[in-house]
Amino acid sequence: MSATLRVNPITCEAHGLCAELLPELIRLDDWGYPILDESEVPPDLVGLARRAVDVCPTLALLLDEN
């Protein structure tokens, strides 16, 4: 059971909520846009990742769980 995070860069408007909730996986660049150094989400962070996806105001954060 693995989970990967992706950002739709067209929809993203740099609100930055994802980086607030999930600093372990998401940091912001000089202009406030998210950088995912690691797209693979460890099992213990999947819950937080789902919350980050829900809280994104533009639905730009995507979590593929399979």
CA distances from 53 to 41, 44, 48 (A): 13, 16, 9
Q: Does 13 bind another protein (CB under 8 A)?
A: yes
Q: Which of 2, 20, 23, 32 binds another protein (CB under 8 A)?
A: 32
Distance CA 62, CA 48 (A): 13
Smallest gap from residue 48 Cβ to another protein (A): 22
Q: Does 8 bind another protein (CB under 8 A)?
A: yes
Site residues, another protein (CB under 8 A)? 7-14, 29-33, 35
